[in-house]
Amino acid sequence: MAEPASVEEVAETMYKLVAQAQGQKKLKPGDLTKSAMQIFGDRVDKKVCKEAIKNLIESGKCVYTYFGGSFIEIPHEEGAANK
């Protein structure tokens, strides 16, 4: 049995996925969970993925956005924001 992945490790991987997709595809929390489970295999479960997403949001590295549905993105200045 492989050693379980830590929440921080999963969060870092998720962050890279979000960074790679930024500007091309918006990722939902479900997309990140499915990708993480594919990458880490039986080293993670949904609970760890959920904690990893929480970690990403609470560290300020990512934010929730809403564009028709809810997504996770790296904080950025949105085009429509009126300064």
Partner 1 sequence: MAKVPTPKLDELEKGPWPSFVTEIKKRADKHAACSDLLGILERSYNEKIGHWKHGGIVGVFGYGGGVIGRYCDLPEDFPGVAHFHTMRVNMPAAWFYTSEAIRTLCDIWEKHGSGLTNMHGSTGDIIFLGCRTEDLEPCFAELAEAGFDLGGSGSDLRTPSCCCGMARCEWACYDTMGFCYEMTQHFQDELHRPAFPYKFKIKAAGCPNDCVASIARADLSVIGNWRDNIQIDAAEVTNYAKAGLDIAADVVNNCPGQCIRWDGKTLTIKDEDCKHCMHCINVMPKALRPGKERGATLLLGSKAPIMEGALLSSVLVPFIEMEEPYDDIKELIEAIWEVWCEDGKNRERVGEFIQRVGMGNFLEAIGLEPDPNMVAHPRENPYVFYNLNEEEESDE
Residues that bind partner 1 (CB under 8 A): 28-30, 33, 50, 53-54, 57-58, 60, 63-70, 73, 75-76, 78, 80-82
Rounded to a whole number of angstroms, the minimum distance from the CB of residue 43 to partner 1 is 19
Q: Which is nearer to partner 1, 3 or 82 (CB)?
A: 82
Is 45 within 8 Å of 7 (Cβ atoms)?
A: no
Phi and psi torsions of 40, nearest 5° = -90, -10
Closer Cβ to partner 1, 40 or 73, answer by number: 73
Contact 18, 73 (CB under 8 A): yes
